Amino acid sequence: MTTTEALPSFVFTVKDVAHASQVAPSAVRFYEEQGLIHARRTTGNQRRFDENAACRIRFARLAQRVGLTVREIATIFEALPEEPSAQDWARVCDSLVAEAEARVAELRHDLDALQTVTTRCTAGIVR
């Protein structure tokens, strides 16, 4: 049987995470600085991440593509416990999709308004 042992957890270097999440090492440091991911330090002051770091970064890059800022994403992550379960992640993902869909819905609504308020979008500049 594979015993559910306590993982060493914080074992990944900046480079590991960079590689796993497809970003530059500089970006990994930047994201830590911004509070998007968290690291512990070795006695020699080097960063060590757990596997969630890469996951967060991948997630973050996706979120950025639909218009969220790093800070907004960091806020979303605050809802995650230290060792998130699959369900925790699922919830976060759902909320991101929901947010993205809300934005699209708003977009659609506003575009409609833009077209119907005044025909042919002659936006009625009042001078």
Binding flag, residue 15, DNA (CB under 7 A): yes
Q: Mask of contacts with a copy of itself, 18-57, x by CB under 8 A? A: -xxx-----------------------------xx-xx--
Read off the DSSP letter of residue 41.
Answer: E
- 69-77, 81-89, 103-111, 119-127 -> range binding DNA (CB under 7 A): 69-77
Which residues are CB-contacts of 42 (< 8 A; sequence separation ≥ 6)?
Answer: 48
Binding flag, residue 118, DNA (CB under 7 A): no
- Of 108, 30, 109, 36, nearest in space to 68 by CA: 36
- 26-34, 83-91, 100-108, 117-125 -> range binding DNA (CB under 7 A): 26-34
Measured CA to CA, the distance from residue 54 to residue 37 in angstroms comes to 9
Q: Are 74 and 87 in contact (CB under 8 A)?
A: no
Binding flag, residue 64, a copy of itself (CB under 8 A): yes
How many other C-beta atoms can be found within 10 angstroms of the C-beta atom of residue 2? 4
Task: Out of 32, 62, 74, 91, point to the residue binding a copy of itself (CB under 8 A).
Answer: 62
Measured CA to CA, the distance from residue 7 to residue 53 in angstroms comes to 15
Contacts with DNA by CB under 7 A lie at 13-16, 23-27, 29-31, 34, 39, 42-47, 64, 69-71
